[in-house]
Structure 1
């Protein structure tokens, strides 16, 4: 899921930063020798990986492989095919991993009961406050992109959804899936047909009955082309998905039945995911149109079925969520209100937290991390997470015009080689992140009882420390790749004025993101690449990435469940999360 980090809540801001990065530690390549600049152009087609396919013209091969994985019933073969899919994904260098995520946040000592899962979703419904307060003051991010659980694709939106909606399943404080609206379920012997029994007496926040028919409606709505949900592909393992007739039906008010095309080891995770949450048909259809499917929840007062209900929304300023007395577990909710500060200014957020105006802050200003670590502040939390911070190239960018698919891949690989990931981890991220050399994060399950990847260097696609261990050789390898792509260099080892490279790096407002962008900017300057940095409002930023209006952009993906298919199926050509524009 797209990482929010901390996002900008004002009008769009576009800035240009050139040569701003100041590295007090290692300098990536600025003093690298240029004496071994190749004089003849290597053949780009011989430099790409054997798994390489044209990410625009031949991506149907990847799409078909994902379909095979989704239908595969032999888990060992399935795991092997997922490795093949990642091999293809990594071979074109549109996705450039930087480090594997962990999660950091601030929480007051008088607050307890808040928990998060490995997918960065925060659960506030069981919070306790021993200072006598009944309102929990929180900052997650700025103005949310979507509150419709079918349309959301951001981490902050998922947190809001998890606290205001309830699916069939949810996560407990151990990160384990447990029943929510479901009471229990049965599975047929072939592992394909599920019969779910709902809890009795489920209600919407307006007091009306919630039944199995609401789940049938909501799931079919989520895959409808009219809804255009980014995550509709998560239903692709269901029978009838390909034909546009999802095999899910309400047998009666408390019984839901659905059928899969292959056994699914992570079905409970899917039933706990926001896209699978129910929405109230009567309210949705009364307050939306076909052209604006998410309009029903763009203002406070919309009907939901979770622990809290949105009762006030001052756009770009604050949101208030009030306890829902109709929630099935309402008697265990002691906090009466959640007050959300909507802001992307992490300096202001940190000040608000220190002033006692926030009880929980989901982001920490970059300049404050070192002091928090040094003083071992007990209110500063670092927790494990499954996800990858990366940058992404738009495969359709004008940057690659006139280049073959192989030459474009060589260009992107050169960029990847030049990035000093260790500097980013140690001096910017600062909380023990591991430099990444693959998209699927370390420690993720393989779907067959094992771990998909446990050793970064042995199981990754490149040495993430190469620029530190052998700077001159690595920089010259980057030059060789660029020469293979048709670029020329001068006697200083910089790009010739005949063949310059100028790119724009797109990101959302956050001191951490900006510092990483500046670091990359300096790294690329080692061979004369000029990179400008553009900061945008969060909602605009998401749409620009989604629509392919960028050269290279800041990205992050927190897994939605503990299986590699989640990190792989997002890149199929029809996925709403395919920011790289593969197959388009």
Structure 2
């Protein structure tokens, strides 16, 4: 899931004298390595390489095979093959594996998060006697419609205002929510779910199994255009457009899969699978704006809280929903959200006592928080990857063969000083990444997909520091294979310059990473400008392919590699690289 406020930890580059000195030395050393022999780009790409635009159907078909595979060992093997293909074109350039940081007042307890960065506030306690929990997650949310959301902040809001069949407890385990129980057929394909009795919407009307049938079919409808509709691709009837899910009666839902699914409870706990109220949705939406029903306060939901006030770009207020099935365990009466992406202003509001929970911290405050061992500063594990994405269809690659374009992108990847980013901007234990699937993710066959970042990755993430001259020379070799020339100073010739624009959203951490890469690329004469956009504009520009290179972050939606792989199929709403288009 797209990360909204990726908190990176440490002082900015401009105040890190040691780091700057190191980078200056790297630039001069890198310029000394000369490359004269021009290799054929086709000899430099991986055997797994396919044209990411014209031949991507091969990847799409492999994902279909994985989704239908019943032999778990074979499925794991095919997922490794899929990642080989994904990584071979270097449109996806991982930088580090995520952890999460946030601030929480000492008088607050009961807030918890799962490994996928979703925060749960419904069971929070306030020992200071307050009944309102004041929070910052991010700026103005992109979507509140569970079917349309694809951001982490949106998932947090959905998890606190809607309830699916399943949810997560404070140990990160899936547990029943609207579901009471379920049975599975002997072949592992047909599920019969029994709902809790007397479920209600926030307006007091009855919530039944028919609401889940409607909502799931709505999520896969082309009219809805949900980014996550592909998450139903393991369901029978998905390919034909007739999803095999039906309400047998008010409290019984039946659905059928095409292959056994080890993570089915995670899917039932995911926002795209949440129910929405048909009567309210259809009364307040249009075909052109399927999410219009929840763009203002007062919309009907079925979770612990209801959006009762919304001052756009300023604040949101959620009040306790008395009709929620577990309402008697909710002690907080209100959630007040400060809508802002300005982490400096957010930190100031937290220190002034105006926030009880802040899901972001300025980069230049982290060092002090660590040194003083501030008990209100939390660092928690996550399953996810912070990365850079190239648009496979960018004009930057005009006139280049697919192999030459891949060589260009690989050269960019080699030049990035990931250790610097982790140690001087991250500084909370991030691990430099050399693969898209994060370390520690389960393999779906009782093991771990990847446990060693060095032995199981696609490149040495520390090479620019451990073997600087050779790494820069390799980057030049790749660029020369793509048709670029270098001058006597070891920089790109004026005949063949490279100028790119890097797209990011507002955050001191994101900008610091961008500036670090900007300096790394300048070692060979690549010129990169940085464009900072508001969150919602940024999301749409990436989704539409209106960029050369952009910052990205993906937190897993469930603990299985397919989640990190299926997002790149051609028709996925999360395919920002524009593969196959």
Q: Bin the TM-score by the shorter chain.
A: over 0.9
Q: CA deviation at 1:23?
A: 5.8
Structure-1 separation of matches of 2:33 and 2:280: 68
Partner of 2:10: none
Report 1:271-310 matches (<5 A): 271-310=268-307
Structure-2 separation of matches of 1:198 and 1:58: 44
Partner of 1:555: 552
| Distance change >3 Å, CA 532–CA 581, structure 1 → 2 | same
Structure-2 separation of matches of 1:49 and 1:350: 46
Report 1:35-184 matches (<5 A): 35-184=32-181
Q: Secondary structure at the match of 1:352?
A: helix
Structure-2 separation of matches of 1:24 and 1:268: 48
Q: Secondary structure at the match of 2:35?
A: coil
Structure-2 separation of matches of 1:252 and 1:418: 60
Partner of 1:14: none
Report 1:59-458 matches (<5 A): 59-458=56-455
Structure-1 separation of matches of 2:178 and 2:201: 11
Q: CA deviation at 1:22?
A: 6.4
Structure-2 separation of matches of 1:116 and 1:250: 32
Structure-1 separation of matches of 2:564 and 2:481: 31
Partner of 1:27: 23
Q: CA deviation at 1:430?
A: 1.1
Q: Deviations over 1:137-156 (max 9, x none)?
A: 00000000000000000000
Q: Deviations over 1:410-444 (max 9, x none)?
A: 00000000000000000001100000000000000
Does the aligned pair in 1 maintain the 2:6–2:509 contact within 8 Å?
Answer: no
Q: CA deviation at 1:21?
A: 9.4
Structure-1 separation of matches of 2:260 and 2:522: 50
Does the aligned pair in 1 maintain the 2:30–2:523 contact within 8 Å?
Answer: no
Q: Deviations over 1:136-182 (max 9, x none)?
A: 00000000000000000000000000000000000000000000000
* Residue 541, structure 1, aligned to residue 535, structure 2: no
Q: CA deviation at 1:6?
A: 6.2
Structure-2 separation of matches of 1:24 and 1:100: 24
Structure-2 separation of matches of 1:90 and 1:23: 34
* Residue 494, structure 1, aligned to residue 480, structure 2: no
5+ residue gaps, structure 2: 8-12
Does the aligned pair in 1 maintain the 2:30–2:524 contact within 8 Å?
Answer: no
Structure-2 separation of matches of 1:505 and 1:33: 23
Q: CA deviation at 1:61?
A: 0.3
Does the aligned pair in 2 maintain the 1:6–1:509 contact within 8 Å?
Answer: no
Structure-1 separation of matches of 2:17 and 2:150: 34
Q: CA deviation at 1:37?
A: 2.0
Partner of 2:4: 4
Q: Secondary structure at the match of 1:53?
A: coil
Does the aligned pair in 2 maintain the 1:6–1:343 contact within 8 Å?
Answer: no
Structure-1 separation of matches of 2:155 and 2:32: 52
Q: Secondary structure at the match of 1:214?
A: helix
Structure-2 separation of matches of 1:286 and 1:6: 36
Which of the numbers 523, 526, 529 marks the counterpart of 2:526? Answer: 529
The two structures, once aligned, show a CA RMSD in angstroms of 1.1
5+ residue gaps, structure 1: 8-18
Does the aligned pair in 2 maintain the 1:21–1:518 contact within 8 Å?
Answer: no
Does the aligned pair in 2 maintain the 1:240–1:246 contact within 8 Å?
Answer: yes
Does the aligned pair in 1 maintain the 2:212–2:274 contact within 8 Å?
Answer: yes
Structure-1 separation of matches of 2:422 and 2:198: 50
Q: Secondary structure at the match of 1:174?
A: coil
Structure-2 separation of matches of 1:41 and 1:442: 36
Structure-2 separation of matches of 1:295 and 1:582: 29
Q: Deviations over 1:40-70 (max 9, x none)?
A: 3210000001100000010000000000000
Does the aligned pair in 1 maintain the 2:32–2:469 contact within 8 Å?
Answer: no
Q: Secondary structure at the match of 1:31?
A: helix
Partner of 1:10: none
Q: CA deviation at 1:35?
A: 4.4
Structure-1 separation of matches of 2:323 and 2:453: 48
Does the aligned pair in 1 maintain the 2:31–2:524 contact within 8 Å?
Answer: no
Q: Secondary structure at the match of 1:24?
A: helix
Does the aligned pair in 1 maintain the 2:174–2:265 contact within 8 Å?
Answer: yes
* Residue 513, structure 1, aligned to residue 519, structure 2: no
Q: Deviations over 1:460-519 (max 9, x none)?
A: 000000001011110111001000000000000000000000000000000000000000
Q: Secondary structure at the match of 2:553?
A: strand
Structure-2 separation of matches of 1:88 and 1:189: 35
The size of the alignment, in residue pairs, is 573
Q: Secondary structure at the match of 1:98?
A: strand
| Distance change >3 Å, CA 79–CA 21, structure 1 → 2 | farther
Does the aligned pair in 1 maintain the 2:33–2:472 contact within 8 Å?
Answer: no
Q: Secondary structure at the match of 1:534?
A: strand
* Residue 472, structure 1, aligned to residue 472, structure 2: no
Q: Secondary structure at the match of 1:408?
A: helix
Does the aligned pair in 2 maintain the 1:45–1:407 contact within 8 Å?
Answer: yes
Structure-2 separation of matches of 1:491 and 1:176: 59
TM-score normalised by L of structure 2: 0.98
